[in-house]
Structure formats: C-alpha cells, structure tokens
Amino acid sequence: MNVKSFLPAMSRFFFYAALCCAVLLSLPATGAAEPRDVKLEKYGEDLAPEINAGLAHLFQVLNDPAVKLDEAKVAPLAQYVLDCDEDPRAYEPDERTGQGIVYKTDLRQPMEKVIRYLYDPNIPNYVMVPSVLRVSGWYPDSEIFDLREGVWSRLDSDEPFMVRGREFEECTPDSFAGAYYRYDLKRMIVVFPYNGRRVLFSVSEQDGKSAPGKKGAIIDDSKWRYFYSGIEGIDKGLMSWMDTYMYGSSSIQAFADLPDGGTRNVLFKWLDAGWSGINVVRRTHIFEGSMRFSEAFQRVMEAESLPDSETLAGFVRDVHEMPETRMDSLMAEYAVNFEKACADHEKMDGGDFEDIISNGTYTEVLDREARIGILVLEKLKSALGMETLVDMGKTPSAADAQDEGEGSEPVAVLPEVVPEG
C-alpha cells in the first residue's frame, strides 16, 4: 500500500515523526563511545511531596527574584541530601522540562575545595567536566564577578547566601546521536546552612531554545577527545538532515559536607530535546549523560596531580592571552595529531568528517573560542599526566609568573561572548 496516498497530509506528518523517533532511539551510536546499558525504569518512584516542593521552590526563586527564599521549604531537601546514602536512581522528581532523574556521587575531597574549583569564575566549567562540556562561561553581568571573595568563603555563613548569573555552554557530542548544542542558562547558587552542616544548591534552567544541534563524534571518551564538524544535523545516517534542539533543561546540584571529610553531590536533572517540538529524551539518556558528567568531575577533582585552583585559573588566563601566532602554531600541531588519532575511528573514515580533518585542516572549522577550549584542556590533561595531542609544556602558568615577581593580582578572564541569535 502507498502510505503517502493513504494518509492525509497532517496524519503523514505525525506518522513520520513517530517513525523517526522510533528509529532514532533504536539505532546505535556511531561514535567510539556506545551508550551504556543503564538499568532504569521508564517511570521512577515518586519522591516525597516535601522534596518535590523544595525543588519547585528553588526554581521559583531562580526565575523570579521577587520570591524570597523560604528556608522551611528547602530544609526537607537539605535533609534528603544528607540522608541519601543509597543509590537514588529508582526515584524520579516531578516532571519539569521533561522527565527527570536523581544521581548521587560522593567525592573524596573537602567541600570547600570542590566549590572553589567548580564556582571560581576564572575556571570555566568545561575544565572541570570535560566529558560533557566543550566550552562554557559566565556572562559579564553575572553577580559572581561582583564578589570580593569566592562563594566557597561563604560556606560557614550562619544565614543563607545567594548569587545569580547567566552562563553559556556548548556540550560535547552525545553518545546517542553524536549531536552537540549551544545554549544559555540562568543559574543561582544558594549557600544553605542546615543543622550545623554545610549545604549548597546550584540551580540552573535553560534560557530559551538552544541553537540547532550540530554533527560531532566521540573519538575517545576516556581521553576527553571529541570531533566537532560545525555542520547542522545529527549523526544518524538517513536522519542526518534533521534540525534538532534542546528545548529545555533544568538541574539542581546539591553539595553537602560528609563526616569523613568528603563531599556529597546529589544531582536532580531534567531534559527536553528533539525536533518539531517532540521530546525524544528518555530517563536513561539523562542518567547516562549524568554518569559522564559525574565520572569526569570525580576524575579531575580526585586526581593527585590536580593543580591548585589559582594555577588552574592561570592555565585559562595564559591561553586567553596567548599571541595569535603561538596559538596558530599549537593548533596546527594539534590538527595533525588529531587526524592521526582518528585514523582507526570508523566514523572518521570517509565523508564530510574525514574531509574536515584531512591534511591537518581541522583548524579551519574551529573559531578562537573553540581553540582556547582545546588548548586549555590539553594543558589540563598534561598536568594530570594524560596523553595529549600538543605540547603545552612550553606555556608557563600565571602562577609561575607570579612566583618570579612578574605577575599581578588575579582578575577574572571573561569568556568571549557570542552574540545571541
């Protein structure tokens, strides 16, 4: 039977949309990292009403500065984080931007150190979670730049403390469709002293629809190595032409100090993404992405060779201030070695992807912001003793320059802001 002649025009649209959705979610990823077989029910068990109420209240405060923080509404959420000793994956928070998940990690680092690295505006988040973020940064009008001392200095406050701002992020290719996205976020950080314990909530929500997804590939997730084509679409064969978007994402990260001196991190995460307004995200997708996030963050934070936060901020500052000729030379070296690293990768064999990286021409699709992100990450990997594709050892850190009496008081390096469109 001829489906086109059988179905009315509107019915055909929904037929093909549903068909594409089914195919997309059944096809394997074509990058080097296959989606992990996450065991998660389609619908999780409900969290207690007071926990959901605490989550909802934090989002209300984020989205409307006129709403005052109600400590009584947040207290049950703080207690939940402190009591969350078991794996909470069976539970699902109330739906927000799509379905949600709960994910827990306990870090073997003190809370002040964790917060110092994660919320120093001189250290972009992509440095701390390189498996899920390509580039990121705070917009210059964010309150975090107005603080004389960092958020970590407020952890022992007797009263709640809040700071707000806006960020941009561009994620790494996902392991399901090889797509990567750029989007803006509203963020609010709340230091919340509770029953003699230190608790901090980081609340974020996507600000508008993302830019269209672009085609990429995971070359080696364990080495934080990814390919970015700059071409709109998804890496799914016959569906590569589709314009996909992140329509909405929300998260609350809760941190609490543990009696053993470590730090608990409980993540509540929601996501709505797809095409034509159709959300094709499953809870397993969100959970797998949260695993990539948490594992990379833990790997960086617990590395014995992790430089102190000032030195790490110096890495970022050095690359931002690097002369163009030096950056061009390092990126030319990177492009040649990146092509070699992709030699046995099935996704880079033939087609547009191979053309983009052949003969060391990968730099032609990388703007200055992307180049900075690559070189900062290579510097971090070198410091952690990981394999790198470019020799960053010739670039001294800002901390070294200060030790020699050549430095100055650290100042925030503002991210290069890309005009919203």
> Is residue 421 a part of any domain in this protein?
no
Q: Do 174 and 275 belong together in one domain?
A: yes
Q: Which domain holds residue 332?
A: 317-403
Outline where 154-274 has alpha helix (H).
none
Please state the domain count of the chain. Answer: 2
Statement: residue 21 has pLDDT above 50: no
Residue 190: per-residue pLDDT: 98
Report d(CA 327, CA 368) in Å as an integer: 9
Question: Helix, strand or coil for residue 19?
Answer: helix
Residue 38: per-residue pLDDT: 76
Q: Do 284 and 366 belong together in one domain?
A: no
In whole numbers, what is the pLDDT of the chain averaged over residues?
86
Q: Could you say which of 276, 302, 328 is where a domain stops?
A: 302
Q: What is the DSSP letter of 35?
A: P
Statement: residue 402 has pLDDT above 60: no
Statement: residue 210 has pLDDT above 80: yes
Average pLDDT of the residues in 400-414:
39
Residue 75: per-residue pLDDT: 98
pLDDT tens profile 326-368: 999 999 999 999 999 999 898 888 889 999 999 999 999 999 9
Residue 141 zone, left/alpha/beta (φ > 0; ψ -120 to 50; rest): alpha
Amino acid at 140: P
Residue 393: per-residue pLDDT: 75
Report d(CA 331, CA 358) in Å as an integer: 14
Q: Do 225 and 366 belong together in one domain?
A: no
Q: Do 340 and 244 belong together in one domain?
A: no
Question: Helix, strand or coil for residue 382?
Answer: helix
> Is residue 117 a part of any domain in this protein?
yes
Q: Do 368 and 290 belong together in one domain?
A: no
Q: Do 122 and 203 belong together in one domain?
A: yes
Q: What is the sign, positive or negative, of the torsion defined by CA atoms of 64, 65, 67, 73? A: positive
Cα–Cα distance list, 271 to 25, 79, 290 (Å): 15, 25, 11
pLDDT tens profile 92-145: 999 998 999 999 999 999 999 999 999 999 999 999 999 999 999 999 999 999
Rounded to whole angstroms, the maximal C-alpha distance in the chain is 80
> Is residue 298 a part of any domain in this protein?
yes
Cβ neighbours of residue 76 closer than 8 Å, sequence gap 6 or more: 48, 50, 51, 53, 54
Asked if residues 241 and 214 have their Cβ atoms less than 8 Å apart, the reply is no
Smallest CA-to-CA distance from 235 within 403, 140, 351 is with: 351
Residue 334 main-chain phi, psi, to 5 deg: -60, -45
Q: Do 275 and 398 belong together in one domain?
A: no
Q: Do 174 and 44 belong together in one domain?
A: yes
Cβ neighbours of residue 218 closer than 8 Å, sequence gap 6 or more: 29, 31, 32, 33, 172, 173, 175, 178, 226
- At which residue do the structure tokens 């022992």 appear? 156
Average pLDDT of the residues in 228-234:
92
What is the C-alpha end-to-end distance of the chain, expressed in Å? Answer: 44
Q: Could you say which of 302, 333, 362 is where a domain stops?
A: 302
Beta-bridged to residue 267, according to DSSP, are: 103, 253
- 18, two tokens: 């549903």
Split at pLDDT 50, 70, 90, the class of 183 is: very high
Report d(CA 303, CA 256) in Å as an integer: 20
Residue 410: per-residue pLDDT: 36
What is the per-residue DSSP string for 343-363?
A: TT-GGGSSHHHHHHHGGG-GG
Query: What pTM value is reported for the model?
Result: 0.86
Q: What is the dihedral of CA 301, 306, 307, 312, to 10 degrees?
A: -60
Asked if residues 205 and 59 have their Cβ atoms less than 8 Å apart, the reply is yes
Average pLDDT of the residues in 17-28:
36
Asked if residues 371 and 331 have their Cβ atoms less than 8 Å apart, the reply is yes
Residue 241: per-residue pLDDT: 59
Residue 239: per-residue pLDDT: 55
Q: Do 213 and 283 belong together in one domain?
A: yes
Statement: residue 218 has pLDDT above 80: yes
Q: Do 269 and 330 belong together in one domain?
A: no
Smallest CA-to-CA distance from 233 within 217, 219, 248, 209 is with: 217
Give the chain's length: 421
pLDDT tens profile 235-288: 655 455 578 999 999 999 999 999 999 999 999 999 999 988 999 999 999 999
| Domain of residue 80, CATH code | 3.30.530.20
Outline where 68-110 has alpha helix (H).
71-83
Q: Do 284 and 375 belong together in one domain?
A: no
Q: Do 378 and 240 belong together in one domain?
A: no
Report d(CA 58, CA 101) in Å as an integer: 17
Average pLDDT of the residues in 59-77:
97
